[in-house]
Amino acid sequence: MTGHWGSGQVYDRICKKFGKPDIVFGKTDGIPDGVFAVDHNNGYEWSELPFKDNEYYFGYWDPPYPPMVDSLLKKEGLEIWRCCRKLAILHTHVYPISWFVGAYRVAMIPVTFGPLKVIRILQVFEKRNKVL
């Protein structure tokens, strides 16, 4: 799969390979208009979301990439995970599966920005049935 996951194509390729997310955390480039996106611009805080547990089947999160490891936004990631049964995360770091209770990782796909640039990784997690 690696050969065709370039920057700017991620959302479309997620939809083709894993299904269309019913919620996106952060409206970034490549997210089409009409997709339900939650971020600071429309009044949501990722660390305190007003959604029920597992309210969304599939979420996509493309968090900011500050250079420090503790910038993985653990609190926000746990809250987003609480709201979704399946979650795709695009980041420069591999998220520890131990953070996400009941999770198993179904995919890890490298995504390039281009030559001589940092590589991001798309990670897809799903909840085990007993957690739902």
What's the confidence (pLDDT) of residue 114?
Answer: 73
Burial class (CB in 10 A: 0-12, 13-18, 19+), 121: middle
Instruction: Kindly state the percentage of the chain with pLDDT values over 70.
Output: 85
Mean pLDDT of 57-74: 78
Q: Report the range out of 7-16, 60-69, 90-99 with the highest average pLDDT.
A: 90-99
Q: Is 80 exceeded by the pLDDT of residue 132? A: no
pLDDT-based confidence at residue 6 (cuts at 50, 70, 90): low
Bridge-based pairing of strands 119-127 and 103-112 is: antiparallel
Mean pLDDT of 107-128: 87
Q: Is 70 exceeded by the pLDDT of residue 67? A: no
| CATH class, range 2-131 | alpha beta
Q: Is 80 exceeded by the pLDDT of residue 10? A: yes
Distance of CA 6 to the CA centre of its chain: 16
Q: Is 90 exceeded by the pLDDT of residue 4? A: no
